[in-house]
């Protein structure tokens, strides 16, 4: 019978003492986040149709996380977890924001939560949020109220790529001032340009940039120059999606060139990841099962790398499971923070692990919760339990033997199911009920019904 010991995460201050970076100059830090991008939609994860040469080059200069997870399968909660370093269920943020939240300052990540910029500013950092926010539509919850010195972007979960406003939350702002569309070009390019301008500012302080592209989230809109790079893709929808990804890649290349030109490249820590698995249309999550919204691997495992030429090795792949929750403590560690000033964090600094100073796994267990307990998952070592609303059952997988989740072994291993359920319940006891709800329940039901209808139709010979 399978047995394991539930291992508690070490206190943050113990991990921060493993590697001494206090004598080093604090690194610049850039988080590059894409929106709904699939696992296989970058060359460093095997894409052959989407050109991503700049991302591939950066990935090769650092560490690719082959088991890099986010803390939620869709946009807003995943971002809440990333920026707070906490399971977003701890503060009831495990649903997307409702569409009428701009008048309610209680809907979104609460001000009581400490975000990355709020922890980095006392360490001497200047901070910028660029792109999609989606963590609070009310002005009280915008980035400048959450520790960012500078903000250029939009509050909502999606927007057209030309910057044409159609509501208060789907308007481009710079530090609270609406920007007219005539001053914008194509949002992916605009966000890149804003990041470059922030990097180029004459300032002795190190910077932290949270660059959250809304690409390749719908709507599918892109300029001709990027379409020219993907004209070899004969499937129209995939070709446009690929061009949107290529626009991000081109922007990352320009940012990298700017760092080199300013002599900042060596001491800039860059992390690239997607906020969740690829969207249901045109994205490629292969070889994993599922997509955005699901807690199968395809919904929560994302393209993920970290590079810091001054301090981290190149040409590395790290295979143990890590989480987007680990970025917050990793950044504090890189900045030389040694004291346990942020003891609410659920992640762990990755530096001792990627530097080979700790050969253990960063995590023995990871958890996911969507819409309260409507769906949830827990991974303990190589076993993963998934209570799937899509399938209306609880599934168990051995990810070491079955990384693509093809064989449900729950019936054959009831003791393992019981142990993982117990681990989940102990974790969930520390969480809050969702503070609001989104249409995920209804969407799951509709999607699974349509899938079953198509399968039934195919098995009966179509219209015969």
Final residue of a structural domain among 330, 363, 396: 363
The confidence score (pLDDT) of residue 463 equals: 53
Whether the per-residue pLDDT at 330 is higher than 60: the answer is yes
Angle at 379 between CA 71 and CA 329, to 5 degrees: 45
For position 11, what pLDDT does the model report? 38
- Looking at the structure, tell me whether residues 172 and 249 fall in a common domain: yes
Question: Mind listing the pLDDT tens digit for each residue in 141-189?
Answer: 999 999 999 999 999 999 999 999 988 889 999 999 999 999 999 999 9
292 shares a domain with 159: yes
User: Does residue 16 have a pLDDT over 80?
Assistant: no
Q: Give yes or no: residues 350 and 371 share one domain.
A: no
- pLDDT for position 5: 35
63 falls within a domain: yes
Q: Which pLDDT band, with edges at 50, 70 and 90, does 440 fall under?
A: confident
Which pLDDT tens digit goes with each residue over 24-82? Answer: 599 999 999 999 999 999 999 999 999 999 999 999 999 999 999 999 999 999 999 99
Domain match, 170 and 254 both: yes
What pLDDT is attached to residue 461?
Answer: 66
Looking at residue 139, its pLDDT comes to: 94
**Residues 392-401: tens digit of each pLDDT:** 899 999 999 9
- Please tell me the total count of domains within the chain: 2
More confident residue, 258 or 461: 258
Domain CATH code at residue 79: 3.40.720.10
452 lies in some domain: yes
185 in a domain, yes or no? yes
In a domain, 253, yes or no: yes
Same domain flag for 132 and 106: yes
Active site residue 95: no
In a domain, 288, yes or no: yes
Average pLDDT, integer, range 294-311: 97
Q: Kind of pairing, strands 150-154 and 63-65?
A: unpaired
Across residues 231-256, what is the average pLDDT? 96
Distance CA 103, CA 364 (A): 41
Q: Are residues 224 and 144 in the same domain?
A: yes
- Does some domain include residue 11? no
Are residues 145 and 274 located together in one domain of the fold?
Answer: yes
What's the average model confidence in pLDDT over 123-132?
97
Residue 342: per-residue pLDDT: 66
What local confidence, expressed as pLDDT, does residue 442 receive? 80
Q: Is residue 149 part of a domain?
A: yes
Question: For position 380, which CATH number holds?
Answer: 3.30.1120.10
If pLDDT is split at 50, 70 and 90, which confidence band does 340 have?
low
245-264, pLDDT tens digit by residue? Answer: 999 999 999 999 999 999 99
Residues 218, 306, single domain; the answer is: yes
Picking from 336, 363, 390, the residue at the C-terminal end of a domain is 363
Range of the domain at 371: 366-459
Active-site residue, selected from the candidate residues 72, 75, 93, 291:
75
Which of 363, 394, 423 corresponds to the end of one domain?
Answer: 363
Residues 337 and 373 placed together within one structural domain of the fold: no
pLDDT single digits (tens) 341-390: 667 899 999 999 999 999 999 999 999 999 999 999 999 999 999 999 88
Whether the pLDDT of residue 13 is over 90: the answer is: no
pLDDT-derived band at 110 (thresholds 50, 70, 90) equals: very high
Q: Note whether 330 and 427 are same-domain residues.
A: no
What is the model's pLDDT at position 18? 39
Catalytic residue status for 134: yes
**The one catalytic residue among 54, 93, 134, 282:** 134
Q: Is residue 20 part of a domain?
A: no
Q: How far apart are CA 325 and CA 439, in angstroms?
A: 25
Q: Mean of the per-residue pLDDT values for the chain?
A: 91
User: Domain check: are 419 and 386 in the same one?
Assistant: yes
pLDDT for res 4: 38
- Considering the domain architecture, whether residues 39 and 154 belong to the same structural domain is answered as yes
């Amino acid at each position: 019978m399978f047995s394991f010991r539930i291992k508690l995460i070490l206190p943050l201050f113990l991990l921060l003492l493993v590697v001494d970076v206090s004598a080093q100059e604090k690194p610049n830090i850039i988080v590059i986040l894409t929106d709904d991008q699939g696992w296989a939609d970058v060359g460093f994860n095997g894409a052959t149709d989407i050109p991503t040469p700049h991302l591939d080059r950066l990935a090769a200069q650092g560490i690719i996380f082959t088991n890099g997870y986010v803390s939620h399968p869709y946009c807003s909660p995943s971002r809440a977890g990333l920026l707070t370093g906490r399971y977003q269920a701890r503060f009831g943020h495990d649903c997307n924001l409702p569409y009428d939240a701009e008048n309610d300052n209680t809907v979104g990540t609460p001000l009581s939560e400490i975000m990355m910029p709020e922890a980095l500013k006392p360490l001497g950092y200047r901070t910028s949020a660029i792109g999609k926010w989606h963590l609070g539509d009310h002005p009280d919850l915008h980035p400048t109220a959450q520790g960012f010195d500078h903000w250029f972007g939009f509050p909502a979960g999606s927007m057209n790529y030309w910057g044409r406003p159609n509501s208060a939350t789907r308007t481009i702002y710079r530090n609270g001032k609406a920007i007219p569309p005539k001053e914008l070009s194509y949002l992916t390019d605009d966000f890149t340009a804003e990041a470059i301008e922030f990097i180029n500012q004459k300032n002795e302080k190190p910077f932290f940039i949270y660059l959250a592209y809304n690409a390749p989230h719908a709507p599918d809109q892109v300029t001709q120059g990027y379409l020219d790079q993907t004209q070899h893709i004969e499937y129209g929808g995939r070709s446009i999606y690929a061009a949107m990804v290529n626009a991000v890649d081109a922007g990352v290349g320009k940012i990298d060139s700017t760092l080199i030109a300013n002599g900042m490249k060596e001491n800039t820590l860059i992390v690239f990841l997607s906020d969740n698995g690829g969207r249901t249309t045109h994205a490629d999550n292969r070889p994993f099962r599922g997509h955005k919204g699901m807690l199968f691997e395809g919904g929560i495992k994302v393209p993920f790398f970290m590079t810091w030429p001054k301090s981290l090795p190149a040409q590395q792949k790290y295979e143990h499971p890590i989480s987007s929750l680990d970025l917050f403590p990793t950044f504090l560690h890189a900045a030389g923070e040694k004291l346990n000033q942020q003891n609410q964090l659920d992640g762990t600094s990755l530096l001792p692990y990627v530097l080979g100073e700790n050969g253990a796994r960063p995590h023995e267990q990871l958890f996911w919760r969507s819409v309260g307990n409507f769906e949830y998952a827990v991974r303990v070592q190589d076993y993963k339990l998934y209570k799937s609303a899509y399938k209306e059952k609880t599934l168990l997988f051995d990810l070491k033997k079955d990384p693509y989740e093809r064989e449900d072994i729950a019936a054959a291993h009831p003791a393992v199911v019981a142990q993982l359920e117990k681990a989940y319940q102990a974790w969930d006891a520390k969480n809050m009920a969702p503070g609001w709800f989104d249409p995920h329940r209804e969407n799951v039901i509709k999607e699974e019904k349509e899938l079953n209808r198509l399968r039934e139709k195919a098995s009966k010979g179509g219209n015969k």
